[in-house]
Structure 1
Amino acid sequence: MMAFTWTLILFFSVLLLTSIPLGFYIKKVMSDEATFLDKVIGKIENKLYQFFGKNHVTKEMSAKQYAKGVLGITLISFVFLFILLMTQGFLPGNPNHVPNMTFSLAFNTAASFVTNTNWQAYAGETQVSYLVQMIGLTVQNFVSAAVGISVLFALLRGFKRKNSLSVGNFWKDMTRVLLYVLLPLSIITTILLMSQGVVQNFLPNMEVNGLDEGVKQLIPFGPAASQIAIKQLGTNGGGFFGANSAHPFENPTLFSNFIENYAILIVPAALIMAFGFFMKDLKQGRTIMIVSVFILVLATVGIFLSEMQPIMSQHLMTAGNMEGKETRFGIIWSSLWASSTTAVSNGSVNAMMDSFTPLGGLIPMFLMQLGEIIFGGAGSGLYGMIVFVILTVFIAGLLVGRTPEYLRKKIEPFDMKMACIVILTPLAFVLLGAMSFIILGKPMESLTNSGAHGFSEILYAFTSLANNNGSAFAGLTADTTFLNIIGGSIMMITRFIPMFAVLFLAGNLANKNQTSVSSGTLSTTSPTFIMMLVIVIFVIGALSFFPSLALGPIAEFFVTK
């Protein structure tokens, strides 16, 4: 237990201390202020603006125009990636002679990567060419993360501006996020991963004789490190290899594991700090940081204690559940990764969560069901948390009989409608998706387990799809026509309907005047409000999903106890 405690202290100390300067830097980037990278990247930025037309990046956009920009880049990205996947067998950069994807798998994969979900119904080392990994999947890891961060700052401008019809310029926001934030961080992370032995080459896969006589073993290669860097930093999570970061070529050492786990959280944590700097109210950022760290640490402790429970193994009592975990990481680092990847909409894994104990698997599932707001996805997690803050302010206003206000803006009926769309859309499609698969998807043909654990595998899958996470319990066969189509559709719906609602919320807020702070203004930085925010988050998650969780991991816990 002492080792676990010191691991958490070390990890979160490094995370929080480095999030402060990075958050301040991101604030300067998104405020169009001078940075130390201007002399290098500024020239590239200006060349891009000249190529695409200066007017496109200097003209302010309304919320509707901003949403059209998001929709436009998404459609272009989806079509481009879909065509690449359907034709990869004919294209160069394919030393392993990977064939074209089927229509349903290409649809699902394209939808997955443009929505920042990275749900993988394929094995990267055998079903995707190097060319597609680089110019298709890796590029979308950058673009989808940049879109989420851009929409976040559109919302923040909505709070900051008054009597304004604009929320910024999408093309400029996305360009600056890509050039000044994601690209430099990815280069640094790639170099660190390569130093630990993560593969980065263009050699074809190699077949060697395995330890069992007559059995061949595949040794995969490829340009992995560069994709792994942005898969973590952009909260994407899609592995270069099928085993993701449990694969020794993706994550070979304890240091590479630390870097990858840290990379999952650093951009979301820095965005919380950037929120405080951008709004010139560090206490607001502190409130969200306290809530996020508290819930994430609580979840990590819960997973660790669940996995450390003595279990019966061949009639012997063993200390802890090591099934599905890599011995080089153990239960401590597997627990921290499991909570990090599901609190953030990352979805990468360094252990097989299908082998976790019932309660050890329930906690990551519940973290996703909270709406991926605990740190959350790049940009999307923070705007989701802000929506929960708005809901909490509204409830508090009802309790005390005052007009709810947040960041000096009155929260009115239209704002609450948009907030409800953001919160309820993923929630509804988790349950609707799981129900439709059970009724129409022939689930017993896709499951390796029956009973409560089989239901948990289905519920986890649709929780992951609807919250743009991408992780899965391994017992569910993902590559079926029904699951590819319905899963791809759910990923698109639950990514962009809430995102557009956030943009219209931003537009409505920007058009309002700011209110004056008085003695009657509800404090949104006090310990009481922090506690109330935590309660609202947990109550919504519990009320929405307790019945389904009772049929899955909770029932499994009592059956196997």
Structure 2
Amino acid sequence: MGTVAAGLLQFGALIVILVAVYVPLGDHMARVYTGQRDLGVERILYRLARVDPRRQQSWLGYALAVLGFSAVCFAVLYAVQRLQGILPFSDGKAGVSPATAFNTAISFVTNTNWQSYSPELVMTNLTQMAGLAVQNFVSAAVGMAVAIALVRGIVNRGATGEIGNFWVDLVRGVVRILLPLSIIVATLLLSQGVVQSWHSGFTWTTLDGAEVHSVVGPFASQEAIKELGTNGGGTLSANSAHPFSNPTPFSNLVEIFALLVIPVCLTRTYGTLVRDRRQGLTLLAVMAGIWAIMLTVVWIFESHASGSAARAAGAMMEGKEVRFGIPGSALFAVSTTGTSTGAVNAAHDSFSAAGGGAVLWNMLLGEVAPGGVGSGLYGILMMAVITVFVGGLLVGRSPTFLGKRIGQPEMTMAALYVLVMPALVLAGTAISVILASTTEAQGNGGEPGTPGAIHGFGEVLYAYASAANNNGSAFGGLAVTGDWFQSSLGMAMLLGRFVPIVLVLALAGLLARQRPRGTADEGAAESTGIIGARPTGPVGPGHGRAVLEAASARPVARPEVLSALPTHGLLYGTLLMATIVLVAGLTFFPAMALGPIAEALL
């Protein structure tokens, strides 16, 4: 079978599987976050943590809970790394250095999983499982919780401004969504030969008599959650390109499916919770459109043979695994940079200038195609709010989003959200390229204007784009073990994660305090305490039966909200996609022109 045919078959299989799970998983997640009953293990956890699962939180209380929990996670993970040399299963490895432990703790708590070290040489199996893998679960659950809190802010109708209970959302996300899916994915990976072992490695003799040590560990279990949680941090330096973690084309398909499935299905969850499935489908269409365009671009440029080595190989095969080829590598690269995952099955630094620039651009779009677990949904919803405001200006209507007025306070939160990532990326890149201490860290030196210097600039830009977007992938030519990169990239990860989260929750609180503006029919319904068969109080754990009953029924046709731009359909979807591309283009085109675009034109 030809390479193109094999790639199309893998692409088709991926789409079919995603379509098959879209409705059941999306509706399951809606039930998880609105159900009234707690599982036994959940009740035990609530008692141990002294949490009242029926107590609702304001946006500020929710944000403080997120920040406090993440701060504790950082402290624990830092301590585990520093003390791993005296903990069980150390296998002779010493504690991690302070700078690396600091950077790694921030990285995994922020769902970035940027790794400036060789995992198999630095981390013990205990640190991998009890430290890093635990953060893979809880950091992903934090992202989903924030996304659901924003949806509650849109749906809830009342003056209290409550958006749920963070601790309940966190526990349910881990216990009911991430753990079951991880077991399924890990089992599939084990069937393909992915290693799962308590041993640290084994020594064997080659044909020429040399002794070689191969590292093994709990790869299958961590590979599953690193993809499902859009984390990306691997247990091996080669990440998902290593045959112990990703041995076959089928395991490659499973991993791509794992990193896409929750962000994709969250659009169904969103449509179910707002009781208008068209809303979720419109977001999904925008995500899919951007993803498909980027996949086409990368696939075309990587299939084009540029240079004598590439022409001899028939394509840009440097840095790619033969068992995956161009299609499998392009599919993985576009999916991982579009979901804030950061896992790789090929060296992005070895992509063509245009192909590498495309995966970099995929991150600079804000990683909303389909974005990270939770972060993709709340990211595209923030862009949707901006699109409604822009659309309202274009058509002369008062901007409202699903009946909630978008005024100056709401736009302030959305605008600040959009500005955080570019400020971190551009400031970090600008400072790094002028520091004398960072010039030698770039893998490709040379005089200004030469291909090596241009690619070196692209490496730095990619690093800060990856850190500020909580992605974690890298152009491998850049050495980031120096003090400047360890600290500045750590701060980019920290601010790139939690400042946007606070702004999202602040917007959720503003929206939750509003009563929707609607038609006279809706006003009459509101006087009875029921609006479209939905409760007027907070929607959260313990308040979800009416929502689910309404969502399970066929949507009832009702008049469009007065003075509102419809937030579904082809017109709005096109406007939303154009807004996403335009904002990124106006912000990053000069930087892209100095790096990947200039390199591609040489």
Q: Secondary structure at the match of 1:120?
A: coil
CA 54–87 in structure 1, closer or farther in 2 if over 3 Å, else same: closer
- Structure 2 match to 1:401: 396
- Aligned-residue offset at 1:342: 0.3
> What is residue 30 of structure 1 aligned with on the other side?
33
Question: Does the alignment pair 1:491 with 2:486?
Answer: no
Note the C-alpha offset of 1:10.
Answer: 2.2
Structure 1 residues not aligned, in runs of 5+: none
> What SS class does the counterpart of residue 311 from structure 1 fall into?
coil
Residue 251 (structure 2) pairs with residue 249 (structure 1): no
Letter in 2 for 1:558: L
Counterpart in the other structure of 2:509: 507
Deviations along 1:422-476, one digit per CA (max 9) or x if unpaired, are 1110111001111121223622321221211111111111110010000001101
Hey, what does 1:469 align to over in structure 2? 471
- C-alpha spacing 1:487/1:308, structure 2 compared with 1 (3 Å): same
SS in 2 for 1:428: helix
> Is 1:77 aligned to 2:73, yes or no?
yes
Map of 1:544 onto structure 2: 587
Matched, 1:99 2:101: no
**2:44 equivalent in structure 1:** 47
Given candidates 382, 387, 397, the residue that maps to 2:382 is 387
Q: Is the 8 A contact 1:154 1:168 kept in 2?
A: yes
Counterpart contact for 2:246–2:252, Cα < 8 Å: yes
* Offset at residue 86 of structure 1 (A): 1.2
Amino acid at match of 1:131: L
Q: Which residue in the other structure is 1:182 paired with?
A: 178
Larger mean CA deviation between 401-410 and 309-318 belongs to 309-318
Residue 399 to residue 445, structure 1, CA distance change in 2 (3 Å): same
How far 1:209 moved relative to its partner?
4.4
Match of 2:330 in 1: 335
Match of 2:432 among 437, 448, 452: 437
Letter in 2 for 1:531: T
Q: 1:78, 1:111 within 8 Å by CA — same for their partners in 2?
A: yes
One-letter amino acid of the structure 1 residue matched with residue 507 of structure 2: L
1:192 and 2:194 matched: no
Q: Is the 8 A contact 1:433 1:462 kept in 2?
A: yes
Q: 1:253 to 1:452 in 2, by over 3 A?
A: same
TM-score normalised by length of structure 2: 0.89
CA contact (8 A) 1:441 1:483 kept: no
Aligned ranges 1:6-21 → 2 under 5 Å:
6-21=9-24
Task: Tell me the residue number matched to 1:66.
Answer: 62
**What is the match of residue 575 of structure 2?**
532
Task: Kindly state the Cα deviation for residue 51 of structure 1 after the two structures are TM-superposed.
Answer: 2.5
2:220, 2:12 → 1: CA distance?
28
Shift of the alpha carbon at 1:5?
Answer: 3.3
CA contact (8 A) 1:27 1:274 kept: yes
CA 1:226–1:281: 2 relative to 1, 3 Å: same
Rounded Cα–Cα distance in structure 2 between residues aligned with 1:376 and 1:458: 22
CA distance in 2, matches of 1:401, 1:145: 40
Q: Do the aligned residues in 2 keep the contact of 1:311 with 1:319 (CA within 8 Å)?
A: no
Structure 1 residue 53 displacement after superposition: 2.7
Output aligned runs, 1:296-315, within 5 Å. 296-314=291-309
| Letter aligned with residue 490 of structure 1 | A
Provide the rounded CA distance (Å) in 1 between the counterparts of 2:203 and 2:477: 27
Which of 264, 281, 289 aligns to 2:259? It is 264
SS at match of 2:316: coil
TM-score under structure 1 length normalisation: 0.95
Task: Report how far residue 16 of structure 1 moved.
Answer: 2.5
Whether the aligned pair in 1 keeps the contact of 2:398 and 2:563 (CA below 8 Å) is: no
**1:526 CA drift (Å):** 2.3
Matches within 5 A, 1:171-250: 171-209=167-205, 217-250=212-245
2:249 and 2:309 map into 1 onto residues whose CA distance is 30
Q: Which residue of 1 aligns with 2:358?
A: 363
Aligned mates of 2:274, 2:309 — CA distance in 1:
58
Q: Per-residue CA shift, 1:244-284, capped at 9, x if unaligned?
A: 00011010111111111100000101111111111111000
Q: 1:147 to 1:441 in 2, by over 3 A?
A: farther
Closer, same or farther: CA 315–102 of 1 in aligned 2, 3 Å = closer
Farther-moved stretch of structure 1 (520-529 vs 116-125): 520-529
Name the stretch that deviates more: 472-481 or 71-80. 472-481
Contact 1:441 1:482 in 2 (8 A): no
Q: Which moved more, 1:337-346 or 1:550-559?
A: 550-559
Distance in 1 separating the partners of 2:577 and 2:403: 22
- SS state of the match for residue 7, structure 1? helix
Q: Bigger CA drift: 436-445 or 205-214? A: 205-214
Greater alpha carbon shift after TM alignment, 349-358 vs 515-524: 515-524
Distance 1:389 1:176 in 2: 27
- Shift of residue 103, structure 1, vs aligned partner: 1.1
Cα distance in structure 2, aligned partners of 1:112 and 1:491: 7
| Alpha-carbon distance in 2 for matches of 1:311, 1:119 | 30
Match of 2:545 in 1: none
Q: For 2:281 and 2:569, how far apart are their aligned partners in 1?
A: 10
In 2, the alpha carbon distance for the partners of 1:513 and 1:462 equals 40
Residue 4 of structure 1: aligned partner: 7
Q: CA RMSD in A?
A: 1.6
Question: Closer, same or farther in 2 for the Cα pair 1:235/1:320, shift >3 Å?
Answer: same
Structure 2 residue runs without a partner (length 5+): 446-452, 519-559
Tell me, what secondary structure is at the counterpart of 1:206?
strand
Shift of 1:194: 1.3
Give, in angstroms, the shift of residue 48 of structure 1. Answer: 1.7
Q: Is the 8 A contact 2:403 2:561 kept in 1?
A: no
**Distance change >3 Å, CA 338–CA 53, structure 1 → 2:** same
Separation of aligned partners in 2, 1:316 and 1:145: 42
Q: Using a 3 Å threshold, how does the CA distance of structure 1 residues 489 and 520 change in structure 2: closer, same or farther? A: closer
Aligned-partner Cα distance in 2 for 1:210–1:494: 47
Paired AA for residue 27 in structure 2: F
SS in 2 for 1:426: helix
What is the percentage of aligned positions where both structures have the same residue? 42
Partner letter of residue 75 of structure 1? A
Match for residue 141 of structure 1?
Answer: 136
Displacement of 1:131 in angstroms is: 0.8
SS at structure 1 position matched to 2:307: strand
State the secondary structure of the residue aligned to 2:85: helix
SS at match of 1:58: coil
1:167-224: CA deviation from partner (whole Å, max 9, x where unpaired): 100001111111100111111111111111111111122344456775x543111111
Corresponding letter in the other structure for 2:67: L
SS of equivalent to 2:320: coil
Return the letter of the residue paired with 1:484. Q
Aligned to 2:457: 455
- In structure 2, the CA distance between the partners of 1:212 and 1:409, relative to structure 1 (3 Å rule), is farther
The one of 163, 166, 171 equivalent to 1:167 is 163
